[in-house]
Amino acid sequence: MMPGARFTLAAGAILVAALGAGLAVYGTGSTGGNSAAPCAGSAEAAGRIAPLARGQVAALQVSPKPVPAPALAFKGPNGTEATLEGIKGLRLVNLWATWCAPCKAEMPALDRLQAQLGGADFSVVAINIDTRNLDAPPAWLTQNGIAELTYYADPGGRVLPAIQKATGSLGLPTTLLIDGAGCTLGVMKGPAEWDSADGLRLISAALGRG
């Protein structure tokens, strides 16, 4: 073998060894040890509810690969600061406004859902997005007998654009089903009879009941 050929082979062997060492240290990108999807553990719940998105809740778009829900900050009762993260358990996050007729038509069903299934592990988080006449939304709720829902509001207009960006939904009502890990299991664009047998069955499945 010529001296030049031996040098070429040796250089090639060194290069292969160096590449191998680099892969051992840095991994291969998406297959590295720290690359697990943050919501991988929520896929099981999404799988449970997917076949139950039918009837009155057929329009729920269940994600086979749940993703982190947007970080939301808004006003709680009496104008206190609140965040979505601060509300524990499974959450049905609903955006509504007094100028949205389908939203108001849906509100009694959400109120009944909270009455039937609400507790430490589940809550309906209905966030009003009116930015004017701020006394009107709570007054409307009282006048229409909506008594089970905690009053949340976003007079600063921060929540709607965050939800629009996360879901692509440009209309109201928009509803997200978010699990206790903060991952979005599904999105509903439009109203639904959430307290129907279909809705109760789906929420119970998301909670792992039955």
What pLDDT is attached to residue 210?
67
Tokens 């993260």 sit at which residue?
85
40-206 fold: Glutaredoxin (3.40.30)
78 φ/ψ sector (left φ>0, alpha ψ -120 to 50, else beta): left
pLDDT band at 33 (very low <50, low <70, confident <90, very high): very low
What are the sequence ranges of the domains in the chain?
Answer: 1-35, 40-206
Q: Is the peptide bond before 66 cis (omega within 30 degrees of 0)?
A: no
Among candidates 164, 161, 189, 162, which has minimal Cα distance to 175? 189
pLDDT band at 36 (very low <50, low <70, confident <90, very high): low
Average the pLDDT over 194-202 and give the result: 98
pLDDT in tens, 77-117: 989 999 999 999 999 999 999 999 999 999 999 999 999 99
Tokens 């009053």 sit at which residue?
151
Query: Could you tell me the pTM of the whole model?
Result: 0.83
